[in-house]
Amino acid sequence: MIISSIEVLDYYRAMTNDDFDAQTIAGLLWRVTEQARLSFDMVAEESDLTPAQTRALLSLEGPSPMRGLAGNLGCDASNVTGIADRLEARGLIRRETGSDRRIKLLALTPQGRMVRDLVRSRLSESSPATTSLSDDERRTLKELLLKMAAMTEGRPA
Amino acid sequence: MIISSIEVLDYYRAMTNDDFDAQTIAGLLWRVTEQARLSFDMVAEESDLTPAQTRALLSLEGPSPMRGLAGNLGCDASNVTGIADRLEARGLIRRETGSDRRIKLLALTPQGRMVRDLVRSRLSESSPATTSLSDDERRTLKELLLKMAAMTEGRPA
DNA sequence: TATTGTTATACTCTATAACTATA
DNA sequence: TATAGTTATAGAGTATAACAATA
């Protein structure tokens, strides 16, 4: 017998307002992030990108050393070679060289910027924050997210 | 030049309270979910599990057909064979048979339940909702998450 | 015929370790 | 010596297609 999404959701709904313990909220947050993961993978696929390639594209705000990207992706530096190879082969990024000739800077090409913006806007459209919350609720959520995101300082993201 | 986490965060902090448009909130939510992903991967590794194996373990509330698990994981059914093989080899799950002999039900073993509970509690401890928010803030967050999670009805999770 | 799980195949992501070019 | 990127290797996740057993 399968425990369906709806049954699990009913379980959360049945909680009284006093149920705000860490495990409960963490479980709910996990459900939302799981939904976000599935949505993210679909958006990535629409642009013919793997999840890792998409995360890389979204991380490249400015030209960044490959090692820095590895930190953002949370993977070993050796992996970035292959990911960058594939993005470069598709013309979405470029390898640039600066004064320190050991370092290769990854930079978005104009086409890469276009794809990134498209992905970003599709992610925004499918975000549960967009589809399920009012303006007021989003304002409240933003404050809470800011506090939660503050913990990421000094950590990759 | 690298755009560090802190710089990006300052950018979000500089927004006025009127900045609650979908793209902004979606971006913030993405940052929090990215942090959650990295934290999830670390917790999984502490128990010698891959991310996919961990998601499978967390999804198995009750005995579930392999195809159902594939739906929860958001992957093709053929992948579940290998994932289940590895979890079974470690004694964390069991393949059971019901009346329909085509269907194999995956069920947690007692040891699997222990590992799942350990993972769940470590995830809860490291959740930004736990580490960054007060009781009141968690109460508010819970309401917002319930609305966002409601969109997952009828969808895998 | 349709469905469940499995197998075969190919590609990507992942970590580890050894290598090169540069500092 | 130390650091940035690459390569080689092995294991795991992923999709597609073909297959056996069961319904």
Say if CB B131 and CB A147 are below 8 A apart: no
Q: Mark the ranges of chain A whose per-residue pLDDT is less than 50.
A: 1-11, 13, 16-17, 153-157
Residues of B in contact with A55 (CB under 8 A): 34
Q: What does the block give as tokens for A36? A: 């976000």
Measured CA to C1', what is the nucleotide nearest A80? D5
B119 assigned to some structural domain: yes
Would you tell me how many other CB atoms lie within 10 Å of the CB of residue A110? 8
B105 with B65: CB under 8 angstroms? Answer: yes
Say whether the CB atom of A53 is under 7 angstroms from strand C. yes
Residue type, A41: D
Q: Is residue B155 part of a domain?
A: no
Given a contact cutoff of 8 angstroms between Cβ atoms, the answer to whether B113 and B106 are in contact is no
Helix or strand run (H / E) with residue A106: strand A104-108
Sign of CA dihedral A63, A67, A69, A72: negative
Is the Cβ–Cβ distance between A63 and A106 less than 8 Å? yes
Please tell me which residue of chain B has the smallest CA distance to A35: B157
Q: How many CB atoms lie within 10 A of CB B77?
A: 14
Chain A, chain B: beta-carbon pairs less than 8 Å apart: 227
Has residue A124 been placed in a domain?
A: yes
Chain A environment of B34 (Cβ under 8 Å): 55, 157
Domain-located, residue A61:
yes
Which CATH number fits the domain that encloses residue B37? 1.10.10.10
Measured from the CB, is A77 under 7 Å from any atom of strand D? yes
Write down the pLDDT at residue A59.
95
- Nearest protein residue to nucleotide D20 (CA to C1' distance) is B102
Q: What are the DSSP calls for A131-155, one per residue?
A: HH--HHHHHHHHHHHHHHHHTTTTS
Distance (Å, rounded) from C-alpha A25 to C-alpha A12? 10
Please list the pLDDT of chain B residue by residue as tens digits (157 residues).
Answer: 333 344 444 445 455 445 577 788 888 888 898 999 999 999 999 999 999 999 999 999 899 999 999 999 999 999 999 999 999 999 999 999 999 999 999 999 999 999 999 999 999 999 888 899 999 999 999 999 999 988 654 443 3
Domain membership flag for residue A98? yes
Task: Provide the domain count of chain A.
Answer: 1
Residue B35 falls within a domain, yes or no? yes
pLDDT at B156: 36
Strand C positions within 7 A of protein Cβ atoms? 3-8, 12-18, 21-23
B90 min Cα distance to partner chain A (Å): 23
Minimum Cα–Cα distance from A25: chain B residue: B142
d(CA A25, C1' C20) / Å: 50
Q: B70: distance to nearest CA of chain A, Å?
A: 12
User: Domain residues for B48?
Assistant: 5-150
Protein-contacted positions of strand D (CB under 7 Å) = 3-8, 12-18, 21-23
Residue of A nearest to B18 (CA): A139
Nearest to A52 by CA among A28, A34, A70: A70
For residue A24, being part of any structural domain is answered with yes
Q: Which of B12, B30, B149 sits opposite A146 (nearest CB)?
A: B12
Asked whether B57 and B119 are in contact (CB, 8 A), the reply is yes
CA of A77 to C1' of C19 (A): 15
The per-residue pLDDT for A155 is 39
Chain A residues with CB inside 8 Å of B1's CB? Answer: 62-64
- What pTM was computed for the model? 0.86
Q: Do the domain assignments include residue A157?
A: no
